[in-house]
Amino acid sequence: MLTRSDDAPVHATPNATMRTLAAPSLGASALSVWEVAMPAGAAGPTHRVDAEQVWVVLEGQLRVELGGRVLEGEAGDALTLPAGAERRVLAATAARALVSSPAGPAVATRTVAHGRCPGPPERSRPRVTRRPSG
């Protein structure tokens, strides 16, 4: 299966533009992959996702508020966000990232309402993987 960038579905919100590169709607069965572009200062809503996500920062700097902690990643870093953890993604600078998570109808996103975010408890520790320098 081939998804050309020019043919990929694009979803725009006030905080980000998401280009779907792989998903069940495009023929994938196990993974979904998006290219996410955020302008400097943009912040997504606080939410939970029922599956682990990996954000690979391609350009700029992203900050993730994750269950009371803050992860900061820059170009070349990978941020692994555990399933069920309350999260909010912010762009410290204009940023672009590839995001991957399991595909399918069993994966749900829940937006926080009134300070509470329903969903399963955090199951593992988040981590930032840095590219070796040199």
pLDDT reported for residue 46? 93
Is the residue at 29 inside a domain? yes
Give residue 103's Cα distance to chain centre: 13
Residue 134: CB partners within 8 Å, gap ≥ 6? none
For residue 58, the domain's CATH number is 2.60.120.10
List C-alpha distances in Å: 17 to 41, 120, 127, 131: 14, 27, 24, 25
pTM for this entry: 0.79
pLDDT bucket at 103, cuts 50 / 70 / 90: confident
Q: Is the residue at 122 inside a domain?
A: no
Is 62 part of a structural domain of the chain? yes
Is 70 a residue whose pLDDT tops 80?
yes
Residue range 104-129, pLDDT digits in tens: 665 555 555 444 444 433 344 455 55
Residue 74 lies in a domain: yes
Whether residue 70 is contained in a domain is answered as: yes
On whether the CB atoms of residues 34 and 99 are closer than 8 A, the answer is yes
Within a domain: residue 66?
A: yes
Q: What is the count of structural domains for the chain?
A: 1
Is 91 a residue whose pLDDT tops 60?
yes
From the CB of residue 112, how many other CB atoms can be counted at a distance below 10 Å? 16
Residue 17 lies in domain: 5-114
pLDDT (tens digit, 9 = 90+) per residue, 3-59?
888 889 999 999 999 999 999 889 888 899 999 999 999 999 999 888 899 999 999
All residues at 6 or more sequence positions from 129 whose CB lies less than 8 Å from its CB, including other chains: 77, 78, 80
Report if residue 85 sits inside a domain. Answer: yes
